Amino acid sequence: MTKPLNDLFSKYRSILNIRDVSLLIYSNVINNIVYNVSQFVLTILGFYTMSVFGVALVYVLYALSSMARLFSGVIIDVFGRERRALVINNALIAMLFLIAFLILTIMGINTLSLVLVLIVIVIGMSLYTMMGTIRSALIKDLLGNDNEKITLYTSLNNTLRSMISVFSTVVSGYLLFLSIHITKYLILSSAILSIIALAPPLILMEYHGRVTAGTNAQVIRRGFVRFGELFKGNIGFRAIILTVTVTYLLIISLDVLSYSILSLYYNVALLAGIDSLFGYAGATIGSMLTPRFRVSRLRVIYVILTMALIIGLGFGIIPMFIRSLVIAVPLLFMVNLIYNIFINAFFTAVGSTLISVVPRGEFGIVYSSAWVLFTASQIVSAVIWAFMGSVIGAPKAMIITMATGIMASLVFNTVYGKVSLKEEKDGVK
């Protein structure tokens, strides 16, 4: 049982023995503590104290995240120097959380202060998503665009992030359970951690990132043009974009349905914390397992996705046939755990592949353009399936969604399953 894991970590040590990569992982893990504590605080405050406003903020966060990813692509393609952009971004996040701390300190815990703090936190979390594109650009260069190294890095990074997320969610959840007034101290700790995460890239990282010859706004237009050219001419890139877009449309934004089902048994605010723990635990296992899958062909990715969808059917089937609180809740959370193993293995593989196949010259705009498309589909999905769930019931809507996803996955596997990502990557200039 332990031998496969020992072999896997030996592979990590032998291939990813790069100081700059280690520093980037460190910075990312620390920032992920900030993100998860803030996300948990946002969820508790939004759903528990102002339910309508909290739900609205979820959709605002999706939209801001989309714009932030696009803006990050503009920054690194127009101005270059990803390391500098990473440092500035972190400094802005720290400043926003300090502002949120001061608001709660001066105004106290009341409706107006919570509204202001929630808005500030949402902006800070959207800036966090911006750093994803910047880090991916650095990783692409640091690892020489080697698909195996990128997959290993993504898996290790996601594993560490998920492990620390479990810890940070438990701690922040327990502290908030003790008193809502601890909120401001959690926000202050997030600001301090954001500053701590600045130090390694600022002081130690040797690689500064690609430097452009000069500011050139034309690169934005060329980036979008290149995205279209890649989509038309590179079958591997097109397959990845279509797969992830359809996946988001069908399953990823269905948290509203799963919460609707599980809220039949639990308070939604409490559910958010418990559900996230299972999600992070599944993400840890899935990310650790990903390097053991050979993703030179897309078929492996589609098999992982199909398994996740089949397991996900349990979200709809269990509450339709089992009404007992004692039986249904443990089963639903177990399904959630297993589902997250497969879905996170899928996204680890897809994320690594997307980084690998996008050309470095227009990486910022092309990569962030893809994520803008994914985020847009996520928003559309949430609206569509929230309506469907209210009309026909969340369990039935979940079954329809998962069944549709399985059929779409099988179709993609038939059309694109034999595409070699390595060949497509080598064919991109």
Q: Which of these ranges, 74-83, 149-158, 259-268, 312-321, has the smallest mean pLDDT? A: 74-83
Cα–Cα distance between 173 and 358 in angstroms, integer? 39
**β-strand partners of 420:** 297
The mean per-residue pLDDT over the stretch 208-229 comes to: 64
Whether 301 contacts 360, CB under 8 Å: no
Q: Is residue 407 very low, low, confident or very high in pLDDT (cuts 50, 70, 90)?
A: very high
Cα–Cα distance between 138 and 364 in angstroms, integer? 11
Longest pairwise C-alpha distance within the chain: 65
Of all residues in the chain, the percent with pLDDT exceeding 70 is 75
Whether 331 contacts 316, CB under 8 Å: no
Q: What is the pLDDT of residues 146-195, one digit of tens each?
A: 777 788 888 888 888 888 888 887 887 777 777 777 878 888 888 888 88
Q: What is the pLDDT of residues 97-116, one digit of tens each?
A: 899 889 888 888 777 777 78
Count the neighbouring beta carbons within 10 Å of the beta carbon of residue 335: 19
Query: Among residues 196, 220, 208, 212, which one has the least CA distance to residue 86?
Result: 208
Q: Does residue 17 carry a pLDDT above 80? A: no
Residue 296: per-residue pLDDT: 74
Cα–Cα distance between 320 and 394 in angstroms, integer? 10
To the question of pTM greater than 0.85 for the whole model, the response is no
Query: Packing angle between helix 111-142 and helix 325-357, nearest 10 degrees?
Result: 40
Count the neighbouring beta carbons within 10 Å of the beta carbon of residue 218: 8
Q: What is the pLDDT of residues 269-328, one digit of tens each?
A: 566 667 777 878 888 888 888 887 777 788 888 999 999 999 989 988 998 888 777 788
